[in-house]
Amino acid sequence: MGRIVEMPLWALILLVAFAAVTFASHFLFPSVRWFFRRRMERVVAKLNTRLERPIEPFKLARRYDMIQRLIYDPEVSKAVADHAKAEGIPENVAFEKAKRYAREIVPGFSASAYFGFAIRAAKFLSRSLYRVRLGHFDEASLSKVDPDATVIFVMNHRSNMDYVLVTWLAAERSALSYAVGEWARVWPLSRLIRSMGAYFIRRKSRNDLYRRILARYVGMATDGGVTQAVFPEGGLSLDGGLAPPKLGLLKYIVEERANPDRDVVFVPVALNYDRVFEDRILVAAGKAGERRFRARISVVARFILKQFWLRVTGRYHRHGYAAASFGAPVSLKAFEAQHPASPVKDLARLLMKRIGEEVPVLPVPLVARALLEAEGPLTQSDLEARVGHMVKDLPEAHVHLPRGDLHYAVEVGLRNLRKRQLVTEESGQITVNAEERDLLAYYAQSIAHLFRNRSA
């Protein structure tokens, strides 16, 4: 037993390495995971004391456990068998494909990443780029929402800044879980987004197996009480106006529930901006008739560098106003009781109608609409008269007049349009730049439905 054994140095290193890995996997890693798990639980417990809607256990489950639960769901197992039969492949091959889809969809929420980094970053970015205003906020109705209900924020989709703005504005209520498109599935952005509770979706997938797995995940999250944020339009508005609703995620939320006793409450959220940074890309895509957003990285980098240089030289101005309004909640139980034969399509129409009623009216959309309606040059006093007439006829809309001053509001709108050379001014006459008319129409379209509703 006490004899000396000689061995090559490489064999000794290999032996020590195997021993270290075995020790780490059996003793060290579980201890480290336990330590961080306990720390996370303490952080979440502290957060839940100040959140209006505490973070649900479903959201805090380990990602591995959630993936296992999803792929072994009876509905997913049936979909795997059907896929294998339809494609003529072994079931174990179809099962591996299902597992890949589940890994792609399921997030790995981190309370520290969300409340420690994401909220601060969202607040800083929002307030650096815009003067942020909270429009209509139905506090009385929101405070009456059943604490056990699953809350779904349903929003119009104007910009990728929507994620940032609403994440910050809803920070004191709960952690939001977004459905994020394929644009964000790039490393390292994907890891950060996943850690904030977002789940990735393939918007144009025609694969029945993928759709079944996504549907079951959304159903599980809804049953688990996870607060979600959904864009019923399905994508960014290409013309600035509200688009007809798409039923994908909304259908999954309504039809995939296994717990009908837990109510689902939809909160309409309406967003609007004086400047949408993707506006030219979106307008070009709308004119081309295809959802292909060709945003070159060089253009993005040039914009960021320009803003940084303006800030360093003391010439930086924020890009106008951004505003969000929160409407009265819609209870799914109440809707189904009042409309027993109504499909999801009717619910979607109702939600889009509620969103439309809450859209904030900001200086740039007001000025853009007034200039386009005139179809000719206007003096600033004529422009103010037109805008004043428009504002007077919108009693139910949230009209944000900076400082409560119509003259100043028109000046703010014009300043933003002049800066981007969308309008020109000569001899006191303000004229729409003919080459930029489509872009001006994009902003006017964001409030156009309010005037159509008034006429109706």
As a whole-number percent, the residues of the chain with pLDDT over 90 amount to: 42
Query: According to the model, what pLDDT value does residue 34 have?
Result: 46
Q: Which two tokens stand for residue 240?
A: 């600035």
Per DSSP, the three-state class of 110 is coil
| Residue that is written with structure tokens 């797995």 in the block | 213
Whether CATH 1.10.10.10 fits 363-455: yes
The CATH number of the structural domain formed by 105-277+319-358 is: 3.40.1130.10
CA 120 → CA 38, 43, 145, distances in Å? 24, 17, 27
Query: According to the model, what pLDDT value does residue 362 have?
Result: 95
Q: What is the DSSP letter of 28?
A: I
CA 251 → CA 197, 202, 206, 208, 245, distances in Å? 21, 16, 16, 15, 11
Pairing mode, strands 264-273 and 199-200: unpaired
CA 152 → CA 128, 222, 243, 261, distances in Å? 28, 9, 19, 16
Give the lowest-confidence range in 99-113, 133-147, 191-205, 236-250: 191-205
**Phi-psi label, residue 256: left if phi above 0, alpha if psi -120 to 50, beta otherwise:** alpha
Residue 398 has pLDDT above 90, yes or no: no
Q: Which two tokens stand for residue 256?
A: 């995939």
* Residues 282 and 295: beta-carbon distance below 8 Å: no
Residue 187 has pLDDT above 60, yes or no: no
Burial 112-137 (b: 16+ CB within 10 A, else e): ebbbeebbeebbeebeebbbbbebbe
Which residues are CB-contacts of 421 (< 8 A; sequence separation ≥ 6)?
A: 433, 436
Query: According to the model, what pLDDT value does residue 428 have?
Result: 86
Q: What average pLDDT score do residues 47-61 get?
A: 67
Same fold for the pair 105-277+319-358 and 363-455: no
Alpha helix (H) residue ranges in 55-130: 57-60, 63-71, 74-87, 91-105, 111, 119-129
Query: According to the model, what pLDDT value does residue 351 have?
Result: 96
Q: What average pLDDT score do residues 200-224 get?
A: 87
Most confident of 41-45, 64-68, 435-439: 435-439
What are the domain boundaries of the chain? 1-49, 105-277+319-358, 363-455
As a whole-number percent, the residues of the chain with pLDDT over 70 amount to: 84
Q: Which two tokens stand for residue 71?
A: 């792929």
| Residue that is written with structure tokens 């964000």 in the block | 184
Name the nearest CA neighbour of 375 among 421, 434, 424. 434
Q: What is the DSSP letter of 361?
A: B
- The H or E element spanning position 259 is none
Residue 70 has pLDDT above 90, yes or no: yes
Query: According to the model, what pLDDT value does residue 335 have?
Result: 93
* Chain segment 213-251, per-residue pLDDT in tens: 999 999 999 998 888 989 999 888 999 999 999 888 999
Residue 205 has pLDDT above 80, yes or no: no
Residue 5 has pLDDT above 90, yes or no: no
Task: For residues 141 and 149, give the distance between their C-alpha atoms in angstroms, rounded to a whole number.
Answer: 14
Counting Cβ atoms within 10 Å, is residue 106 exposed (0-12), middle (13-18) or buried (19+)?
buried
Residue with more model confidence, 22 or 266: 266
Task: For residues 386 and 389, give the distance between their C-alpha atoms in angstroms, rounded to a whole number.
Answer: 5
Query: According to the model, what pLDDT value does residue 376 have?
Result: 83
The 10 Å Cβ neighbour count of residue 10 is: 8
Give the lowest-confidence range in 66-70, 171-175, 325-329, 451-455: 451-455
The 10 Å Cβ neighbour count of residue 429 is: 13
Counting Cβ atoms within 10 Å, is residue 158 exposed (0-12), middle (13-18) or buried (19+)?
buried
Residue with more model confidence, 62 or 413: 413
Residue 433 has pLDDT above 70, yes or no: yes
Q: What average pLDDT score do residues 290-313 get?
A: 71
